[in-house]
Amino acid sequence: MDLSYSPEETAFRNEVRAWLAAHLPADIRAKVTHYQHLSKDDHIRWHKILAAKGWSVPHWPVEWGGTGWNITQRYIFDEEFGLAGAPSLAPFGPSMCASVLLRFGTAEQKQRFLPRIRDGEDFWVQGYSEPGAGSDLASLKTRAERRGDHYVVNGQKIWTTLGHYGDWIFCLVRTDAAAEKRQEGISFLLVDMKTPGITVRPLILMDGGHEVNEVFFDEVKVPAENLVYEENKGWTVAKYLLGHERMGSGAVGSSKRELAALKALATRELKNGKPLIEDTRFRDRLSRVEIELDALELTSMRFLDKMRRSGQPPGADVSMLKIRGTEIQQAITELMMQAVGPLAQPFVAVEGGEVDPLASRLSPRYCNYRKTSIYAGSNEIQRNIIAKMTLGL
């Protein structure tokens, strides 16, 4: 047994690290490390920098612009992003839509969409959840009716992350309301968000931030050529996508960086005149999170090794990483909020007041990170997946 990365892998890590140090724009990094939301321009600018290096879509086949890295390299690449404070590219285009197109798209669809996704020309968002269809996605109601050479879409999507930045949205829509099984009448449709009849309405989260939206479709005409795979076979596509969750869902890299930031903060904050980090109670709680993160890193590496050997997709292992990864992220945000004591209360300045630029972001960040155990398949659903797939219950 050997718990360490090979010299080649370490060299690769150093290469990624050096490149990020030289090319990650300082203002974007500062937004990440100060818990501010990125603008659309920030996303696109960073995407184009990566694209110029040939690193915007490492996991794609080489002929479409992938790097040909193995899964360990891809994991290292993701981890270095987290450590550096580099934002991951929004997954909806490069990871999700592209995976679907690569597997199910026609030659024409691939040619039309993939290069623009790779180069950051189109910003894609995801139209999956609906008000009545969250964990139970198959109960979705947004209808697409075939009329001649196009579909007409009516309905509503919700929790559309960065929908207000979206150029295109991929949607699961119901094309056959009479299908015997709910899963059978669903199709996967690509929709240009400039099409008349689409309204994006912000949903402001409790940290005051605008990340998610409701998207309304009112008689939206979508060319039939934007159907991916067969009509009424959209559930097959959706399931394929779920099976392609990446090993990075434990967010080990960014949690390591956050933990270091927490230690720095707890060294600066004083309790009874001494650094807070010397307080046994606080330090113990911090140490427990650190140990959990060490365990998660090794668990991620073990799963990676298993995947590499078997050549099989990770399956329910990813659910385990998502559960613990989000719990660790939430625990760190909570400790950071507690570290600043009473300064966790001020949120925004009014009438000539001022707030500490870092401390005032810590409670909002704690609030915001409650989303992590809800989004991308709630942690309850992840536990269901493990119970079913791993334990056969």
Partner 1 sequence: MNFEYSDEQRQLADSVRKYLGQAYDFDKRKAIVHSPAGCSDAVWSTLAEMGVTAIALPEADGGFGGGAIDLMAVMEACGEALLVEPLIEHIGLGARLVARAGSPAQRAALLPGVIDGSLKLAFAGLEPGRRYELAPQSTVARRQGQCWVLDGEKSVVVGAPWSNKLIVSARGEGGGASLFVVDSRAPGVSIRPVRTVDGQRAAEVRFSGVQLEGDALLGPKGGALAHIEEATDFATALLCAEAIGAMQYANEATLEYLKTRKQFGVPIASFQVLQHRMVEMVIHTEQARSMAILAASKVDSASDERERRRAVSAAKVKIADAARLVSQESVQLHGGMGMTEELKISHTFRRLTMIGQRFGDADHHLERYAALS
Binding site for partner 1 (CB under 8 A): 129, 132, 134-136, 139, 158-159, 203-206, 208, 212, 269-272, 279, 281-282, 337-338, 341-355, 360, 363-364, 366-367, 370-371, 373-375, 378-380, 383
Q: Which is nearer to partner 1, 28 or 336 (CB)?
A: 336
Spell out the alpha helix ranges (H) of 219-279: 234-242, 252-268
Question: Residue 128 CB, nearest distance to partner 1 (Å)?
Answer: 12
- List the catalytic residue out of 80, 211, 245, 269: 245
Sign of the CA dihedral with 253 first, then 37, 209, and 267 last: positive
Residues 215 and 170: beta-carbon distance below 8 Å: no
Q: In the complex, what is the shortest distance from the CB of residue 104 to partner 1, in angstroms, rounded to a whole number?
A: 27
Name the E strands within 245-306.
Answer: 270-271, 274-275
Cβ atoms within 10 Å of 352's Cβ, excluding its own: 5
Given the complex with partner 1, which of 270 and 295 has the nearer CB atom?
A: 270
Structure tokens at 16: 């990624």
Nearer to partner 1, 244 or 370 (CB): 370
Residue 181: Cβ-neighbour burial (10 angstroms; 0-12, 13-18, 19+): exposed
Rounded least distance, CB 370 to partner 1, Å: 5
Task: Specify the pairing of strand 124-127 against strand 168-174.
Answer: parallel
Place of tokens 């399931």: 239
> Is residue 245 among the annotated active site residues?
yes
Q: How far is the CB of 142 from partner 1 (least distance, A)?
A: 17
**Nearer to partner 1 by C-beta: 52 or 270?**
270
298 vs 349, beta carbon nearer partner 1:
349
Q: How far is the CB of 346 from partner 1 (least distance, A)?
A: 4
Q: 101 with 94: CB under 8 angstroms?
A: no
Tokens of 272: 């009874």
- Would you say 174 and 185 are in contact if contact means Cβ atoms under 8 Å apart? yes
- Catalogue the active-site residues: 245
